[in-house]
Amino acid sequence: NRQTAGDVRATVLSFLAQAEYVGEIVLGISLAGLAALAGLPAALIGCAGLLAAPIVLLRARRV
């Protein structure tokens, strides 16, 4: 990080933020569609799955 120029670091951080926002929009629309098609309980289970996914991935990485 110290060897990276400030403008490059700012560009990378901006790109990562935009990727996060796009992911939130896409997943939000997907969960809304799931709620409309299958009902609210299915959407809540989908949310729980999305929240559990990083935990599973991090545990798999440690092993």
Token pair of 34 as six digits = 């799931």
Q: Which residues contact 6 (CB under 8 A, 6 or more apart)?
A: none
Q: Which residue has the tokens 């629309």?
A: 29
- In one-letter notation, the amino acid at residue 45 is I
H-type alpha helices, the chain = 6-38, 40-62
Tens digit of pLDDT for each residue in 5-63? 888 889 999 999 999 999 999 999 999 999 999 999 999 999 999 999 999 999 988 87
> Which of the four pLDDT bands, split at 50, 70 and 90, describes residue 1?
low
pTM over 0.75: no
Token pair of 48 as six digits = 């729980």
